[in-house]
Amino acid sequence: MEDFFQSEFSTDIVITAGVVVLALILAKLSSRFARGYFDDPEKVYRSTKSARRVAIFFTIVTTILVWSPGFGDFITLLTVIGAGMAIALREVLLSVAGWARIAVYSTFKLGDRIEVNGVRGDVIDVRVLRTSLMEDGGWVNADQSTGRIVHFPNSWLFEFALYNYTRSFRFIWNEMPLVVTFRSDWKAARDIMQKYAEESAVIIEQQAREELRVISREFLIHYSILTPFVYVNIDQNGVELTLRYLCEARKRRGSEHALTLMILDAFREHPNIELAHRTLSVIPRNDPQFEGLPIKPPRQE
């Protein structure tokens, strides 16, 4: 037992264990200090995350130095570790690279609404290997939260397209279709939809133009028309009127709800506008158009 504690190998083990314990204690104390000193939850979160990262970095560097007493051994150890990680830990390395990309290029930040590989939500946590979202969409209509927290590896940033709904330009185009019958006054219906959409879009249009002016310095974006517009199309059940308007990404469902209420109230007061629905025509067998055609008898059960 005495020889064990006097050996160089056992000394390195004890030092490494001590460093790990010390790092854990410092991270825990930093977290308690942050909760006691800051009232803002965001500041507490950022302080705790920074303390954990410093503790991890300190532990890794100290462990490598302890187990590599000479400079040559240190370089050799790093080379071996790097080669092994490149082969066995490809996904992990890609996730670390993805985290570096997020930190350097500000691909997204906390609070942004993003979508990657079909996973969509608001960013609530960014770690070295993964990013966490408060999911929205899914089985919930429009863009509202499902209450689930979903995680995806940062390596996805190199494999799939990233959609950011709120960075630089926080507005999106939304379309709201309505179908009126062929006998309805579709022009009046179109004018009603256009009127209420324009009334709701005055402030949003001003904000959108200002943000476009700023973002155009970084991206080649040309939006000459930001006002709402109603497109007209022939549907099998009537005349389809599709209202296209600009709204905030997080307020798509709320804006559509408000516009729908106003438009339905206006349609109800107009005598020549009625919403269309699918119809089924039933023609009796003795109708003249069936004369001379064989009629299949009903199947016997």
- The domains found in the chain, sorted by start residue, are 2-88 (no CATH), 105-164 (2.30.30.60), 171-269 (3.30.70)
Q: Pick the more confident residue, 195 or 68.
A: 195
pLDDT band at 281 (very low <50, low <70, confident <90, very high): low
Place 5 in a pLDDT band, splitting at 50, 70 and 90: very low
pTM of model > 0.75: no
pLDDT score at 88: 62
3 state SS for the chain: CHHHHHCHHHHHHHHHHHHHHHHHHHHHHHHHHHHHHCCCHHHHHHHHHHHHHHHHHHHHHHHHHHCCCCHHHHHHHHHHHHHHHHHHCHHHHHHHHHHHHHHHHCCCCCCCEEEECCEEEEEEEECCCEEEEEEECCCCCCCCEEEEEEEEEHHHHHCCCEEECCCCCCEEEEEEEEEECCCCCHHHHHHHHHHHHHHHCHHHHHHHHHHHHHHCCCCCCCCCCCCCEEEEEEECCEEEEEEEEEEEHHHHHHHHHHHHHHHHHHHHHCCCCCECCCCCCCCCCCCHHHCCCCCCCCCCC
Q: How confident is the model at residue 140 (pLDDT cuts 50, 70, 90)?
A: confident
